[in-house]
Structure 1
């Protein structure tokens, strides 16, 4: 039932500002520093230590954002794919060290893919373009999934350019693992709806159903990836929150805003609308 308790996706540098707000109601938190290549290639343990220092007393649900810059899940290059695969394993190790139960990874499906999957149909025993893409993602992410299963971490696949939410759901289900679930970014879905003919944001939520474990809450205008506070753009937030409230589970719900300083304005608007608390 509404309103739903929500938290935020933050860099470690922003934790002191929002520490009391997070801990006061033990809100969902996603630490995002681990998406930066230099963090996972460097002393990521120091980042974990610093985050823990600020989170003493935090007992809410905790996740991290995994790597994605030039880290596509379906990397086909045989020299580069093992590097990408190892990076995701390192990110799972960082999540485990932090005590996080989730890690966000990005969907490999592009706008071009959706318009061209039917342009490369399955012929005889030859796998389709869709199946080949899923197979590459399974191979690349497989070691991270295996590590996540042993560490109690769930990888959640976030929509980026996805037009058909069912394709990403099919990818997540193909791992046949409780350690792989779905994430939705509301602004990405809103862009895809307006710019490329995807369904509206609440349809993404309904399609994900019981597999939805994480949501990035951000507003947009349907043209670009704005990461505005809810209420500033044109996302139908009442439809989105009703769809989330109708789920049998409660996914991690975090504001992912371009400017962390907009969190109070976002919360004020959502509270006035009776959607979040």
Structure 2
């Protein structure tokens, strides 16, 4: 069933490395957030303690901790061709499943690779990522969680609808995080049309049409009327999680309401 853009909650990415005032977030009308801590080490007890506090503080103000962003980089690459590294990646993600469950966070966003991905390794890396994501997504589902692979730019895996279809094929447990700022092989609206109900969460920002910029929506090259229409026609149910540079909750909320009002005919 189609949903109107105004039905979606406004979300925001909250980084422990660059925190946002929760009172300001609540005042803005933002009702959900994604928790991240990169480049901090979540397995450092002090960092974990601060995440515990952030989750409690957000919930105390009525802000849903909607998703958790798994770290990314060489040491978190689910497409790694190094067996020892891949084993460690799987073990670390499993550990985060426990954290997510303790925090009551159901959705976990995961990058299918790090970069650069050499052309001669791409097919093998795609197959490795598919197997790793398949294993972890099914384990997540068994624990009441949902793993979502994020579409990525440049040479990263998952840089197109075709690659995301390959990574998710035959595995309904694996969802998709649609980062509209990362899509250059086709328009975000075309990506949304193809992935449809596989999309379980979002990253919202704008770009210059050449590379990711994480600008405020409407300040770059993306066609927001077409993007909103595609999400509505796909029946998207989740929030619009803004992942912008130097986020200010009041600015994000005001800007998003402007975009919604400008597209009220959808």
Alignment map for 1:117-132 (pairs within 5 Å): 130=123, 132=124
Q: Contact 1:64–1:103 at 8 Å: present in 2 too?
A: yes
Matched, 1:152 2:144: yes
Residues in 2 aligned to 1:157 and 1:105: alpha-carbon distance in whole angstroms: 5
Partner of 1:16: 22
Partner of 1:240: 227
Q: Contact 2:26–2:62 at 8 Å: present in 1 too?
A: no
Give the counterpart of 1:250 among 194, 218, 237.
Answer: 237
Q: Contact 1:92–1:148 at 8 Å: present in 2 too?
A: yes
Distance 1:49 1:275, change over 3 A: farther
Distance 1:90 1:202, change over 3 A: same
Residues in 2 aligned to 1:177 and 1:37: alpha-carbon distance in whole angstroms: 32
Q: Contact 1:67–1:91 at 8 Å: present in 2 too?
A: no
Superimposed CA distance per residue, residues 28-78 of structure 1 (whole angstroms, 9 cap, x where no aligned partner): 311112x43512354554133212331225363611101112222211112
Q: Contact 1:44–1:94 at 8 Å: present in 2 too?
A: no
**Mean Cα deviation higher: 217-226 or 3-12:** 3-12
Q: Contact 1:82–1:140 at 8 Å: present in 2 too?
A: no
What 5-or-longer segments of structure 1 have no aligned partner? 121-128, 193-197
Partner of 2:11: 7
Superimposed CA distance per residue, residues 140-161 of structure 1 (whole angstroms, 9 cap, x where no aligned partner): 3455334412321111111112
- How many residue pairs match? The answer is 251
Partner of 2:103: 98
Superimposed CA distance per residue, residues 179-210 of structure 1 (whole angstroms, 9 cap, x where no aligned partner): x1001111111xx2xxxxx1111111111101
Structure 2 length-normalised TM: 0.82
Instruction: Report the CA distance between 1:136 and its aligned residue.
Output: 1.5
Alignment map for 1:49-198 (pairs within 5 Å): 49-55=52-58, 56-58=60-62, 60=64, 62-70=66-74, 71-108=76-113, 116=119, 130=123, 132-141=124-133, 144-161=136-153, 162-174=158-170, 176-178=171-173, 180-189=174-183, 192=184, 198=185
- Alignment RMSD: 2.8
Give the counterpart of 1:217 among 196, 199, 204.
Answer: 204
Structure 1 length-normalised TM: 0.79
Residues in 2 aligned to 1:169 and 1:41: alpha-carbon distance in whole angstroms: 36
Matched, 1:46 2:54: no
Q: Contact 1:89–1:143 at 8 Å: present in 2 too?
A: no
Residues in 1 aligned to 2:102 and 2:47: alpha-carbon distance in whole angstroms: 10
**Mean Cα deviation higher: 60-69 or 206-215:** 60-69
Residues in 2 aligned to 1:248 and 1:63: alpha-carbon distance in whole angstroms: 19
